[in-house]
Amino acid sequence: MVLQSEPWSVLPVSLSKAFLLGIIFTICLLLLDFMKRRKTWRRFPPGPPSVPFVGNMMQVDLQNLHVSFKQITKQYGDVFSLQFCWQNIVVLNGFEVMKEVHINQSEDIADRPCFPIFEAIGLSGNSKGVIMAHYGRGWKEQRRFSLSTLRNFGMGKKSLEEKVIEEAGYLCSALQSEQGRPFNPHLIVNNAVSNLICSIVFGNRFEYDDDKFHRLQHLFEEALKAESGLFAQVANAVPLLCHVPGLPQMILKPQIRMLEYLQETISEHQRTWDPNCTRDLIDAFLLEMEKVKEDKDSSFNKKNLLYTPVDLFIGGTETSTTTLRWALLFMLLCPDVQTAEGPCAGKVQEEIDRVIGRDRKPTMGDMLKMPYTNAVIHETQRYGDIVPLAFPHMTYRDTEIRGYFIPKGIAVLTNLSSVLKDETVWEKPHQFYPEHFLDADGKFVKREAFMAFSAGRRVCPGEQLVRMQLFLFFTSLLQRFTLQIPNDQPRPREDPRWGNYVKGTDLRCSVSPGGSV
């Protein structure tokens, strides 16, 4: 009689034990994953089934989350949940939901989640600038300081308006130097917009051919690419990766180089600082540090001396530059909106001719008399979808949204794209249609669903500055130039290439009919 051995019994004893231990370890991991991922809250928002360990990360496009969210809303509604590894996330969509939350429950979602990859390079505790700071004393101090400093240096005043008008002149001169040749406006437009923030943060503007200026812009652009890239998002979703020696520093190498560059500028300011003469935002911050030097809990510290100017530079440069580039693209694609020709009154250049003329420079006082131009700028922000998702929020306390319970400490993503292209609000949400912001009499109407700057406690602090930049730069350009697609170039595409920024678009600029150079 021959006894039949169990399949595993023929294996060496050590290998059998390893096999069993592997099974036990796998079961333990699955149980741990289940305990981590299971939702124990009643009435938590529904969402698509998740996969062990990775959650829903493989079911969405991390580079175009707003597109994935649009598909998910069809099944789960405007308030749904996702899991990125073991992190629970609630996503808010649509104008009605966003209005309810940002207007009536703004403080409930005013906090920020932690970003492990940034904390790994030192962005933690009471040193998170304005954008990433937790809702509390530090954030309130830095936001109040930023707003007051922007006002002190002219935001909303004639002094800053004059700087924008002057910079618009430099911008037009740079375009004129192209002499009608095809060129990419990215760098030139970025130069103009960046110079305004530089004058506030660093106390001076740069010439457009300044190598130091170009290096600063390049570092900021590379830093933005890195922090919004796939590797950074995965590292934030899987915090264990941030403990791998050198990995966070490799992913955020552009950020580190940018901060090192800014530290050189700050060190120079510290050497030449005079408390009786505030030259710029850095000097103003140094003065605040001196006032509270005995307060160990103050957010006015050396790290925020770096991070707060960075936040203002990014907020005041990237959105304005990107919006202007989208505006130039739409003028190329919609020549009937740009030119004064044709039977339809109210075109941008016709309105400029009628209100401003060709000799006087545009001012903010002209905006109220130029409803069509103002509508074109707003429609650019809406249809261009410059910032599809607001920076992540986190619940500051337990709250309810549309009958769903969301506990304190849950990450909340607000899908601004779903508001700006809400089919229940806009007449033609998927077309460039300036009439969205005009009434039957042709007067400008600001729509409640226009949330390009977000809303609530975390609304963009530089909104007023951005509006000034967009109007004065755009009208100055269209006052002097007509944008054309080069004869040997294909029609530019509208779909974004990276982070909703238009890249690689060649534009030809020529003197507009009747204009003077």
pLDDT, residue 444, reads: 96
Rounded Cα gap, residues 182 and 184, in angstroms? 7
3-state secondary structure of 412: strand
Rounded average pLDDT over 22-43: 65
Residue with tokens 């830095």: 142
pLDDT, residue 239, reads: 82
**Between these two residues, 305 and 344, which has the higher pLDDT value?**
305
Contacts of 81 (CB under 8 A, 6+ apart): 39, 44, 45, 46, 47, 88, 89, 90, 91
Assess if CATH 1.20.950.20 describes domain 36-511: no
3-state secondary structure of 476: helix
Rounded Cα gap, residues 44 and 399, in angstroms? 11
Q: Considering the chain, what is the average pLDDT of its residues?
A: 84
H helix runs in 127-210, sequence order: 137-152, 158-176, 186-201
Rounded Cα gap, residues 169 and 176, in angstroms? 11
Residue pLDDT, tens place only, 101-126: 988 899 999 999 988 888 888 766 56
pLDDT, residue 509, reads: 38
Rounded average pLDDT over 169-196: 87
Residue pLDDT, tens place only, 391-433: 899 999 999 999 999 999 999 999 999 999 999 999 999 999 9
Identify any residues that bridge with 509 across adjacent strands, giving them in sequence order: 483
Rounded average pLDDT over 127-137: 87
Question: Nearest CA to 362 among 330, 196, 483, 370?
Answer: 370
pLDDT at 346 over 60: no
Identify any residues that bridge with 435 across adjacent strands, giving them in sequence order: none
Its pTM surpasses 0.85: yes
pLDDT bucket at 343, cuts 50 / 70 / 90:
very low
Domain boundaries along the sequence of the chain:
36-511
Residue pLDDT, tens place only, 426-455: 999 999 999 999 999 999 999 999 998 888
Rounded average pLDDT over 331-343: 77
pLDDT at 504 over 60: no
Residue pLDDT, tens place only, 214-270: 888 888 888 888 887 878 888 887 888 888 888 889 988 988 898 898 899 899 999
pLDDT at 13 over 60: no
List the structure tokens of 365: 């006082």
pLDDT bucket at 327, cuts 50 / 70 / 90:
very high
Residue pLDDT, tens place only, 465-495: 889 999 999 999 999 988 888 777 778 777 7
Share of the chain above pLDDT 90, in %: 42
Number of helical (H) and strand (E) elements in the chain, helices listed first: 18, 8
pLDDT at 82 over 70: yes
pLDDT at 500 over 60: no
Strands 508-511 and 399-401, sheet pairing = unpaired
Rounded Cα gap, residues 115 and 135, in angstroms? 15
